[in-house]
Amino acid sequence: MVLDTNVLVCAAKGDSEFHNACKELLDRLIDNPSPNYLTWGIAYEFVRVVTHPRVYEVPWNPVNALSFIDNLLDTGNFFLLTETDRHLEVFSRTLEQLPGIKGSILHDVHTAVLMREHGIREICT
């Protein structure tokens, strides 16, 4: 399963109404031997959100934010999805299936394409 930015942010930041549920989910996934995934895009977006002074009155330091991601990857149950040699082909086919897709949503399309490349069908957002 891919864990999306929203879940990571809510798990990391104690001021969210969803903090407890997201933190419990994250802890269960860490303890579960099944692999879970992030993308670099999700990692960057997490760092962008938790360090943003317009989003949080007391934003995180970028080094601490990246450390959160690094610690997650160090658990042994989280892995980064990266592009394969088939990325352009899968991206092209996905765009053909989604006529009219454009703009900011392409960030999410990138995640979906990576999931397709690696045969992952589940995302938690």
Q: How does pLDDT run across 42-89, given as a tens digit for each residue? A: 999 999 999 999 998 899 999 999 999 999 999 999 999 999 999 999
Mean pLDDT of the region 101-122: 95
Local confidence band at 122 (pLDDT 50, 70, 90 cut-offs): very high
Confidence band of 1 (pLDDT split at 50, 70, 90): very high
Q: How many CB atoms lie within 10 A of CB 65?
A: 21
Domains annotated for the chain, with CATH where assigned, are: 2-124 (3.40.50.1010)
Nearest to 76 by CA among 39, 33, 22: 33
